[in-house]
A and B are shown apart, each in its own frame.
Chain A
Amino acid sequence: MINSATFVVFITLFVIFIAIGLLGKRFRKGDLSKLEEWSLGGRNMGTILVWFLVGADLFTAYTFIAVPSGMFAKGALFYFAVPYVSITFAIAMLTMPRLWRYSKKRGYITAADFIKDKFNSRSLAIIIAITGIVAELPYIALQVVGIQAVLTSMLLGVANVTLISEIAIVLAFAALAAFTFIAGLRGVTLTAIFKDALIFITVITIILAVTLSIGGFGNAFNHVPTFVTLPKQFSTAYISLFLMSAFALYLYPHAINGSLSAKDDKKLRRSQALLPIYALGLAFIVLFGVLVYAVPHAMSLLSSFPASSRGVLVVPTLIASTMPGWFVGFAFLGIFIGGLVPAALMAIAVANLLTRNIIKEFKPKLGAKLETTTTKWFAVLFEFIALGFVFVVPATYAIQLQLLGGIIILQTLPAVFIALFTNKLNKYALGVGWLVGIVSGIYLVELVNKFGLLSSSLMSSPLGLIFIGATALLLNLIIVLVWSAISPGKASKAFITATKGI
């Protein structure tokens, strides 16, 4: 139920959220005119803080809105999100601590810094940075889509819904930009803890309350008997989706940015190892997409929306139709800031890439202080670009770009992950492999969608349906590995000397 208590709780908690973000400035005080302090929190976060920070920024409003909506529409296939979030942390705990050690030693802030130093190649670093920015921007935009879904449900029945919700989003982003600019990663970390607390309480409460009131999950599955198991023809799709998504996640700039803020490599490894436990929240929230079928009131509300926008409203509608007003305000704010917190970290991460790996390449004399100021302004700018994007372009385009983003970010895997473990990769092979991966990935996606609206990322193969990202990455890997085996490259001398023994 939505009543005045909903709005009071929502607004009060939002004010607290912004206050916490601004207070972040004083948290583990550092000189915020230094980029390392502003964007990595001075590399000073312990196991628990990194757990909250990375967890809060990987499980975003989009995850909480889009995965249940996929479950609602298509069923078990979307449960691939669960194995994905277990395996991705195995990959993180094996790769991120090593990247952290190199970064600490050599002062890197981004993955592209590492590429530039290791391969002594500006061009390779620039293409990795651009890939990161291009893949990340639709991700930020999708946070806005998640936020809009909450506002649409909350303002249902109010006159001028669109106008009011747009004003609310602009105000929220202005507040967000202020604390990103002022407190940097410290603000993001503190608000992440606040967000996590709200989301966990919401998920546990709803799962208990709704399953008890409908008499167990069984009743929900009775409405959609085809959702009980995964149809056999999707087996290979399921496995390729969870494996490739697991490899892709820690190539995204925000995941790397969060990891590099850890205090030391061991604390980082332990926090990543424990993140599958955080993912329990996701495993249950995805089931909202099934539970909703057993709540007639929610189903009738949903049927009043056009089929295309119904999906994103599943979670907010389920919450609004089963919980008392004040709790709806609490839960909605959880999802609302569940979009804002990751948007802040993503903006910081892409601003780092743009300033350090692109602008600085062409303006090498940018001083340390000016570099930080530039990055701060770019972070603010990116937040508003993402916002503007959603207002100007229909949400479906952001979703399509996000789908492409997942495929193109995977193509940086050889240069980022494999290069952590060997000095033999050939930089030209990395460049060509990247290009072939990106071109083939985009072409195949266009092909399976008949060059129209992008809705599918699966293609048929001799094994069965598979995720296109897997095919593109395979082509990329073959080029990189075969070429590097025939004509091995060399890591830069400076890198080898400095990183001996770590």
Chain B
Amino acid sequence: MNTKKIVAAILILIPVVAYLALPLYNIRNPEAFGLPFFYWYQIIWLPISGIMFYIAAVLIDRKSDKGGANKRRGANARKKRGG
């Protein structure tokens, strides 16, 4: 497997594992603005997942550009812009 694909897979899996680790975050303290840890932990993982998924998305699509299998229009133009 290609390195970029592995990194992308890890980036996608991290938030999933973070949410599956329920016993670790199903606790009250530390609180933030009176909000129990259970809640704010899950809230902050939303923007973190967004960022990780986005980086993964860029990595996945770069890889398919290199493969040259895609002849979609504009693919080259986007690559020049740095993707």
Contacts and interface: CB of A to CB of B under 8 A. Distances in A.
Interface in B35-59: 35-36, 38-39, 42-43, 45-47, 49-50, 53-54, 56-58
Given A230-B38, A266-B61, A280 B43 contact: yes
Contacts of A283: 42-43, 46
A interface majority secondary structure: helix
A150 interface: no
A30 B4 CA distance: 38
A276 B33 contact: no
A274 interface: yes
Interface in B49-83: 49-50, 53-54, 56-58, 60-61, 69-70, 72, 74, 78
Contact of A221 (B15, B34, B74): B34
B57 A269 contact: yes
A502 interface: yes
Contact of B50 (A79, A230, A232, A273): A273
A85 B35 CA distance: 20
B42 A274 contact: no
Contact of A235 (B26, B42, B50, B78): B26
Contacts of B45: 83, 86
Interface stretch (A11-19, A32-40, A211-219, A410-418): A211-219
Nearest to B31: A218
Contacts of B69: 501-502
B53 A239 contact: no
B16 to A, nearest CB: 6
A211 B31 CA distance: 14
A79 B33 contact: no
Given A79-B38, A217-B34, A229-B36, A86 B46 contact: yes
Interface in A202-235: 211, 216-221, 228-230, 232, 235
Contacts of A264: 72, 74
A86 B28 contact: no
B22 A211 contact: no
Interface stretch (A87-95, A193-201, A298-306): A87-95
Nearest to B72: A264
B57 A216 contact: no
A221 B78 CA distance: 50
A154 to B, nearest CB: 30
Nearest to B58: A270
A71 B43 CA distance: 15
A466 interface: no
Contacts of A220: 34
20 contacts: A82-B42, A83-B19, A83-B42, A86-B46, A86-B49, A87-B15, A89-B49, A90-B15, A90-B16, A93-B53, A217-B33, A218-B31, A219-B34, A230-B22, A230-B38, A235-B26, A238-B22, A239-B22, A266-B78, A269-B60
Interface of A: 76, 79, 82-83, 85-87, 89-90, 93-94, 211, 216-221, 228-230, 232, 235, 238-239, 242, 264-266, 269-270, 272-277, 279-280, 283-284, 287, 501-502
Given A273-B56, A277-B50, 6 more contacts: A87-B16, A93-B12, A230-B38, A272-B53, A276-B50, A287-B39
The 4 closest A-B pairs by CB, nearest first: A218-B34, A216-B34, A273-B53, A217-B34
